[in-house]
Amino acid sequence: MPTVKVRMYATVRESAGKPEAEVDAVDLEGLLRRLAELFGQRFSKLLYGAGDEGLVILVNGRNVKPGSRKNVRFCEGDEVSIFPPVSGG
């Protein structure tokens, strides 16, 4: 099973209590489930409370659109960045 480095920013980092983690996961859905298990209810609410559109997720620097997240599979050493939604103007 690949080990994925996860970097978390802003409110995502605050709810996890740390800026990054290394998690074994085959795909993005499994990674998100594992993060929710590791970091508890507050983190889980942030991940799933706003639906897929609530977070910005990058895999190796590329934005993963909500509709294609089910298809993302990992290789050893992949990096995932998770941001809260960006707003402003």
Of 4-8, 34-38, 82-86, the range with the lowest mean pLDDT is 82-86
Distance CA 43, CA 15 (A): 5
Q: What is the CATH number of domain 3-83?
A: 3.10.20.30
Whether pTM > 0.95 for this model: the answer is no
pLDDT at 29 over 70: yes
Give the domain ranges of the chain.
Answer: 3-83
Q: How far apart are CA 74 and CA 53, in angstroms?
A: 21
pLDDT of 39 higher than 70: yes
